[in-house]
Amino acid sequence: GAARSLRIGISCYPSSGGSGVVATELGHQLAARGHQVHFISHDVPFRLDLTRPGIHFHPVEVPSYPLFTYPPYDLALASQMAAVAEERQLDLLHVHYAIPHATAAYLARAMLAPRRPVRVVTTLHGTDITLLGTHPSFQRIVEFSINQSDAVTVVSHHLREATLAAFRVERELEVIPNFVDPAVFHPGRRGDPALRRGLAEPGERVLVHISNFRPAKDAPAVIAVFARVCREVPARLLLIGHGPDVDRCAHMARRLGIADRVRFLGEHTDVARLLAAADLFLLPSRQEAFGLAALEAMACGVPVIAARTGGLPEVVEHGRTGYLLPPGDVEGMARRALELLQDPARHAVFSRAAARSAHRRFAAGTVIPRYEALYRRLLGED
């Protein structure tokens, strides 16, 4: 008979950021496939659509108390996970980003046993391993929480290797890559003059960078590359997102005399609309477990110039869907950017290849069933 629909709890960081976006889109996709999905977090995840059938949200509240120098969110989260799992009869908790979600899920599972056996799936996203996880303050709890999960997935082969190198892992680490919804991220709107009008003058090329502007993204390199590109072709740079390096980038743009060509757009939930107006995506990160923003750009037919680092080579194919350069090589990135921008025929080939590659390898329709298969395997329903 038909497989039964599952009841799944999802916890993630609700702020803008790859892991929260992946968790949110996973929830949307699972709900569309008939499952009941319960988000448990301190705020509604920023791309979550609560009006869709099958999507639920349960806020976590941390009471403030003079005793608390650090409000114990982890405990409130674990408590809420257990409450929701019991009331809604959840089959499993799928947590995104190890700290603190994997630990909270471990606690919730222990609280519920043996009344309600709930399985814990942890998806590692990158900085929970490479940056925070290896910090002496977190190393042991992250290692423990990984090993206590019933299943662990990683978003790239690179992150799998990094995790194995950093911890004594006793669990299988299954690589399930990030994904895009081709119904949202597609090249269909490319070249729509109405979309482009407000963002650039006719004849200008549009370069885009999307990130949280943390140091690992090397956003200043985006400005440096763009300054070189500007000398050769009329162009605009759109910067989407915000974070610690935004001010530095603005300052750099002023100093280089290109401030009028750079626009800071802040955070956006509908990046597909902006990507439709873009010619090139820049992601010069020094560290990147996957690079979801690059995948979203490719899916919209936007070639990517990125650093050859982390999981980016698993997403961007050098010389076919974009170019990969050593981190910090702004000369090389600018040269490759100009090669594509000054050669419309080559750009068109890369654009088509990027969209095709994104849709063929990372479409939600092929990736989501891998998560479902994992869930069913854990529940003994495969």
Report if residue 126 touches ligand GMT, rule: CB under 6 A: yes
Among 291, 301, 303, 327, binds ligand GMT (CB under 6 A): 291
Does 292 engage in binding with ligand GMT (CB under 6 A)? yes
The three-state secondary structure class of 177 is coil
232 class by beta-carbon count within 10 Å (0-12 exposed, 13-18 middle, 19+ buried): middle
User: By CB under 6 A, is residue 357 in contact with ligand GMT?
Assistant: no
> 315-322: long-range contacts at Cβ-Cβ below 8 A with a sequence spacing of 24 or more?
315/156, 315/290, 315/291, 315/362, 316/291, 317/353, 317/357, 320/350, 320/353, 320/357, 321/350, 321/353, 321/354, 321/357, 321/358, 322/281, 322/294, 322/298, 322/350, 322/354
Q: Does 47 bind ligand GMT (CB under 6 A)?
A: no
Q: Which residues of 207-225 are buried (b: 16+ CB within 10 A; e: fewer)?
A: bbbbbbbbebbbbbbbbbb
Between CA 59 and CA 217 the distance in angstroms is 31
Distance CA 106, CA 302 (A): 41
As measured in angstroms, the least distance from the Cβ of 371 to ligand GMT is 13
Longest dimension (CA), the chain: 68
Residue 327 is a binding residue for ligand GMT (CB under 6 A): no
Instruction: Name the minimum Å distance from CB 331 to ligand GMT.
Output: 24
User: Binding residues for ligand GMT, how many (CB under 6 A)?
Assistant: 20
- Interaction between residue 287 and ligand GMT (CB under 6 A): yes
| Amino acid at position 197, single letter | R
**Which residues from 213-272 bind ligand GMT, rule CB under 6 A?**
214, 216
Contact between 289 and ligand GMT by CB under 6 A: the answer reads yes
Structure tokens at 282: 């820049």
| 163 part of the interface to ligand GMT, by CB under 6 A | no
Q: Binding segment for ligand GMT among 2-10, 33-41, 69-77, 212-220 (CB under 6 A)?
A: 212-220
- Under the binding rule (CB under 6 A), the answer on residue 178 touching ligand GMT is yes
Answer yes or no whether residue 325 interacts with ligand GMT by CB under 6 A. Answer: no
Is 17 near ligand GMT (CB under 6 A)? yes
Among 95, 155, 180, 238, binds ligand GMT (CB under 6 A): 155
Residues 73-102 that bind ligand GMT (CB under 6 A): 97
Among 6, 8, 10, 22, indicate the residue that binds ligand GMT (CB under 6 A): 22
Strand order in the sheet with 173-175: 55-59, 36-41, 7-11, 92-96, 119-124, 151-154, 173-175
- Looking at the Cβ atoms of 77 and 229, the one nearer to ligand GMT is 77
List of residues contacting ligand GMT (CB under 6 A): 17-20, 22, 97, 125-127, 155, 178, 212, 214, 216, 287-292
